[in-house]
């Protein structure tokens, strides 16, 4: 089904993203690896070429830093100029439980990368996706969304920051984004669905501290209990390629099967408010923290 199809995979230089890119190439799809670290991405692309026999046209690398709205806009401008069609966008890249840092635009890193960067990316590529319909958007979330909440008074975590909670909130935002986007895309020929990949052996947890003496035991146990990147990528590939989900809209999947979500992940009122605020945040404003809080309050009143 992927022959002649062009697919963008964010964060494709390692882990689930790299495995997703390789699997789509094996299905004869053409993959654009959208990655922050171009050197590592080129190395990953070479690995995929050696594994699959693909040429430079079938698997290519473009620089994309989701922590920079300027980078997102530049990436999309290039894609729109260079690509006549885009059949699938897989929003895979993510930051996991990092120390409190901010994006180039001043947003808390996990919310900025995992939600806002992909929100803007999807928005800017939407016309191309619609012209290429039938096309698909795939959003990689996490079951850890269950531990998150959307606090409209402190989306930037300036009042309180807990790295685990911030990650969960960003993954809940992914699901609410999917919910609202699905409503807006009805009848467009573009579908959007989310997934939770499970616990996978990747470098996503590089910010999680494990005592040196415990690392050998942790690595041994993880190989037995955690999914491989290839296993973790299966649902992403399924949602991007399978005829089984042709026309399916606004659902979440795990292990290639529909997943029932908590009500907070499908709350249409919250999803709509988060959409409106995300549009404002992605507009690239330069106001200070006090003015941002005032803007959010006015939007969510």
Q: Give yes or no for a contact between 32 and 7, defined as CB atoms under 8 angstroms apart.
A: yes
Question: What does the H/E/C string look like for 257-276?
Answer: EECCCCHHHCCHHHHHHHHH
Give the distance from CA 149 to its chain's centroid: 18
CB atoms within 10 A of CB 209: 7
Which residues contact residue 109 at a Cβ distance below 8 angstroms, ignoring those fewer than 6 apart?
67, 95, 98, 100, 101, 102, 103
Give the distance from CA 174 to its chain's centroid: 8
Q: Provide the b/e sequence for 2-23 (b: ≥16 CB within 10 Å).
A: beebbbbbbbbbbbbbbbbbbb
Indicate which residue of 96, 145, 161, 167 is catalytic.
167
By C-alpha distance, which of 89, 76, 96 is closest to 282? 76
Angle between helices 163-185 and 118-131 (to 10 degrees): 20
Helix, strand, or coil (residue 66): coil
Residue 60 CA to residue 34 CA, distance in Å, equals 9
**Paired strand residues for 258:** 253
* Active-site residue flag, 161: no
CA distances from 190 to 31, 126, 134, 194, 279 (A): 19, 9, 6, 14, 20
Q: What are the residue numbers of the active site?
A: 167
């Amino acid at each position: 089904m992927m022959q002649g199809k062009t697919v963008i995979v964010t964060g494709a230089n390692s882990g689930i993203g790299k495995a997703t890119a390789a699997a789509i190439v094996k299905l004869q799809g053409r993959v654009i690896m959208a990655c922050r670290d171009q050197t590592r991405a080129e190395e990953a692309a070479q690995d995929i070429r050696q594994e699959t026999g693909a040429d430079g046209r079938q698997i290519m690398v473009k620089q994309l830093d989701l922590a920079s709205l300027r980078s997102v806009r530049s990436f999309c401008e290039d894609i729109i100029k260079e690509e006549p069609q885009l059949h699938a966008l897989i929003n895979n890249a993510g930051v996991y439980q990092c120390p409190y840092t901010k994006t180039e635009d001043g947003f808390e890193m996990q919310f900025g990368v995992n939600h806002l960067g992909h929100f803007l990316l999807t928005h800017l590529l939407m016309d191309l996706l619609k012209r290429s319909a039938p096309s698909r958007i795939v959003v990689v979330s996490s079951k850890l969304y269950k531990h998150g909440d959307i606090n409209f008074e402190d989306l930037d975590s300036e009042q309180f920051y807990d790295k685990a909670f911030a990650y969960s909130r960003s993954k809940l935002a992914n699901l609410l984004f999917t919910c609202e986007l699905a409503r807006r895309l009805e009848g467009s020929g573009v579908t959007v669905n989310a997934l939770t990949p499970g616990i996978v052996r990747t470098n996503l947890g590089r910010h999680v501290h494990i005592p040196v003496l415990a690392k050998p035991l942790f690595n041994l146990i993880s190989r037995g209990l955690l999914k491989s990147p290839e296993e973790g990528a299966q649902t992403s590939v399924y949602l991007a390629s399978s005829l089984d989900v042709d026309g399916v809209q606004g659902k979440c999947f795990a292990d290639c099967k529909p997943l029932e979500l908590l009500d907070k992940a499908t709350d249409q009122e919250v999803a709509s408010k988060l959409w409106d605020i995300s549009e404002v945040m992605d507009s690239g404003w330069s106001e200070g923290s006090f003015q941002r809080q005032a803007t959010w309050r006015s939007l969510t009143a």
